[in-house]
Structure 1
Amino acid sequence: MAWTIAPSQRRERLYVIACEQQWVKWELRPWTDGVGEISGLIVSTEVILSQVLADLKVAIAESQAVVTHDPLPTVIGDEIQLIQLFQNLIGNGIKFCQDKPPRVHISTEQKQKEWVFEVRDNGIGMESEFFERIFTIFQRLHSRTEYPGTGIGLAVCKKIVERHGGQIWVESTLGEGTTFYFSIPQERQGSHEV
C-alpha cells in the first residue's frame, strides 16, 4: 500500500528524522568515544543530582513536579554517564505523569558490596509484561503524540549501569507509578566493554 505525503509534511518528517539521528549519535557518543572505559573516579551522587535538577529546571517548573531525595552516597564511576542515567530516570518520572503534579523520590540503600538506588514516581505506571521490553532500544509503550521521546533513554540507562558493573530493574503498577532500581558496586570492578 502506497501513501502520499504532501511536500511540506515530507520536509517536516525528514527534519524530525535528521534531528533524531543527531540526538542518537549524541546519546551513543560516550560508548563510541570511550571504547568501553569508564572514568572510575569517586563522584558524589548528591552533586550529580544537583546538576540533573538544574538541567531539568524548566520541565520541573512547567509540570509543577516535586523531586525529593534522601542523602546519597559517593560512588566510583563516570560522572557524565551517571548524570545521563539520573536525568533519564527522573525525566521519565516527570514526563510520564497525567492529571497531577509529578512526584519523584530518589533514595539509596547500602547492600553487601553495592549501592542500590531507587527512583520512585507517581506516574502512569505500566503492566509487568513490559518490564523487560522497556530496556530495549527504540521500544516505546506510547505514541509520540501521547509522550515525546525516541525510545532509547532506558536502553541507555541499562548500558550505563552495566558498564558500571551493576544491574537495573523496574517495579510498577499501572495507574500508580513506577520505581526504577539500579545497583552500582562500591568498588571498581575493572572496565566493562560495550
Structure 2
Amino acid sequence: MSGQSVRQLQDSLRAAGFDPGASDGKFGPRTERAVRDYQRSKGLQVDGIAGRRTMGALGGASDFSGSQPNAANGTARLNGVPNGPGMTTGSITVNGRTYQFNSGSGSRYSVPPGEYRVMAHRQNRSDAGFVRDGVGYSFALEDANRRRGSDSMYDARAGRDRTALRIHPDGGATGTAGCIGIVGDAATQRQFRADMNAELARNGGTYTLNVR
C-alpha cells in the first residue's frame, strides 16, 4: 500500500515512539517492522498489518488489511523494482479487494514486471514458505506471451528465464524467492484465496494479471 494514508500511519507510529523510517508513503519493510513492534507493545496480534485494531489503538480510522473496492482487478503494483536481488513490496487487486504483498529477498530477485496468466495450482499447502498462520495455498503464474503450459518468465535483471513463479502466503521469513507473497493473518489469507478462486471462476479458470 502507498500514499497519504501510509504517511499518516508512519507519522502516527513515530509519534508513538516507533521508527517507520521516512514518511514517504510506502509500506516497506521498515514500516512493517514498526507496526509489528507497536502491536507487540500493545498486546495486539503481531502480524505487521495495520488493520482496524492496530489503527484504533493508534487513534486512526484507516485500515490497511486489504479492502479497496475502487482498485482495478487484475493488477499488481510494485513499490519500486530492485535492479538486482532484493525485496520489494506491492499491492494486488482481485475480486474487488486489494492486498499487500512482499516479493524477493536479500539474495533473490522479486517478481519481474510483465503480463501473466493466473491459474489454480494448490488449494492447500503445508510447506513453511507457503503457509501463514496455518493457511497454505498457491496459484500459478505463466508468461501470457508464451505458449500455455510454460511457467518461464524472462527477467532482464537476471539475464535469464525465471521459473515456478507463484502467488502464495508470505510464510516463514519475510520475503519470497521471487513469487508474490501475500501479507496478512489467517483470515486475510483465507479471504485472498476465496477472492482468487472467485476471480478464476468468473474468467473461465484463468485470467490476466498485469504486474507493474
**TM-score, length of structure 2 as denominator length:** 0.32
Larger radius of gyration: 1
TM-score by length of 1: 0.34
